[in-house]
Amino acid sequence: MKCYGLSALTDLWGDFIVYRNLSPADQRLPGLGDLRVSLGLLDGLVPRKNETDYARVVVEILKQARASTAPGVEIRRIVFLGDTRLLDSTAFANLCEAGGWPGIAFIGSENAAPFAVQTEPMPGGQVLYLSNRWAALDDAFREFVAAHGFPVDEHTALLIDMDKTALGARGRNAAVIDDARVQAVEETVAGLLGSAFDPQGFCAAYDLLVQPEFHPFTGDNQDYLAYTCLILGSGLETLEGLVSRIRVGEMRTFRQFIAEVDGRSAALPSSLEAIHKEILANVQAGDPTPFKPFRYNEFRITSTRMGWLPEQSAVEKLLSEEIVLTREVRDLAQDWRRLGVLVFGLSDKPDEASLPTPELAVQGFVPLHHKPTHVVGE
């Protein structure tokens, strides 16, 4: 493993990327707001990555992206790079179905076991290629794509998951992304609670409620989890009491929880009244990212974790302290882009955690896909 200098995600795909709100960074392309009517989508709702409506929106964006760079050329096949077996394979299958395209998906997650590859056919005729080495992208996966009869040309679209694939590769560097998010939750909650903040109590609540057992309650949504930690820190509810109610089925969903808090809002510290009302209004409006201050902090902290170490730093230090770009993903994207492939980034990270506020932009912060960071790989 070694460092290959500095690079940014724009070196892979330029501004061809969508974050959670499905509004392309390249403003020539249509976004969710432009496509709602033609696709028959409900106002106000933003489909998530594993939903069929998400795929329908992305397919239309991809077609426009291809038309903008190669007029008259149609996408005939897709290759997908991701890191999560269930979520990414579902998103991949939906994209293939929505576009009417054959496809191959590489799902990577590095571990200490001997190099292994597993291929799985999918019901729609697509193929999953699962490997425990990102270095499989250098030779083995490329050979598999060729043997599968997939030309690498301008009729091919390469879709790359940003988080824990292109940046912070799972099994190699992903923990730094998670650490940045947890730090953002803690700083946000601590800032709102002030002297009442209990670091040990916060850690106990976060570490427990982030577990899969509580995903039916939190929806695996970090905004919901951050708000819950805030309310627990305020003393309005105890961790033991909430966990007991969740486990016996008395407290089933986050919406139920925030509605209950609203009914008792007179007991909240006065310093939390405004943020509670703001988050409640966002939840009621269907916003999947209702805790804006937390996400702004997540963007700032994530950005400062990118490219900040000296280039001569040991690889182990880079992988444990900096969010780095995955060399094998970068090289595949750049090689294929030179062959005419449309390279496009996908991220389920909220826009608020990916793009600078005007205040941060003035300070020199740039979108995450523009931020240079070190490139590390085999």
Q: What is the 3-state secondary structure (H, E, C) of 99-128?
A: HCCCEEEEEECCCCCCCCEEEEECCCCCEE
Task: Identify the residue whose tokens are 């090689």.
Answer: 335
pTM of the model: 0.93
329: its two tokens: 């993903």
pLDDT tens digits along 289-298: 999 999 999 9
- For residue 307, is it within any domain? no
Q: Are residues 235 and 371 in the same domain?
A: no
User: Is 302 domain-assigned?
Assistant: no
Shared domain check, 223 and 149: no
Shared-domain flag, residues 93 and 219: no
> Does residue 183 share a domain with residue 159?
no
220 and 334 together in one domain: no
Per-residue pLDDT of the chain (378 residues; tens, 9 = 90+): 999 999 999 999 999 999 999 999 999 999 999 999 999 998 878 898 999 999 999 999 999 999 999 999 999 999 999 999 989 999 999 999 999 999 999 999 999 999 999 999 998 889 999 999 999 999 999 999 999 999 999 999 999 999 999 999 999 999 999 999 999 999 999 999 999 999 999 999 999 999 999 999 999 999 999 999 999 999 999 999 999 999 999 999 999 999 999 999 999 999 999 999 999 999 998 888 999 999 999 999 999 999 999 989 999 999 999 999 999 999 999 999 999 999 999 999 999 999 999 999 999 999 999 999 999 999
pLDDT, tens only, 84-126: 998 999 999 999 999 999 999 999 999 999 999 999 999 888 9
Alpha helices in 115-252 (DSSP H): 140-147, 174-193, 199-209, 215-218, 222-234, 239-247
Is residue 64 domain-shared with residue 164, that is, in the same domain? yes
- How confident is the model at residue 316, as a pLDDT? 97
Judge whether 255 lies within some domain: yes
Same domain (yes/no): 165, 219:
no
Q: Assess whether 121 and 268 both reside in one domain.
A: no
Task: List b or e across 336-375, with b for residues whose CB sees 16 or more CB atoms inside 10 angstroms.
Answer: bbeeebbbbbbbbbbbbbbbbeeeeeeeebebbbebbbbb
In a domain, 42, yes or no: yes
Domain ends where: 274, 290, 306? 290
**Is the domain of 156 the same as that of 242?**
no
In a domain, 299, yes or no: no
In a domain, 351, yes or no: yes
**What pLDDT shows up at residue 125?**
86
Same domain (yes/no): 332, 283: no
- Residue 111 sits in the same domain as residue 9: yes
Q: For residue 296, tell me if it sits in a domain.
A: no
Range of the domain at 263: 174-290
Task: Answer whether residue 202 is part of any domain.
Answer: yes
Listed in sequence order, the residues at least 6 apart from 186 whose beta carbon sits closer than 8 Å to its beta carbon are 199, 202, 206
The one-letter amino acid code at 51 reads E
Compute the distance between CA of residue 100 and CA of residue 53 in angstroms, rounded to an integer: 15
Judge if 136 and 87 occupy the same domain. yes
Q: Give the domain-ending residue among 244, 275, 290.
A: 290
- Cα radius of gyration (the chain): 21
Number of structural domains, the chain?
Answer: 2
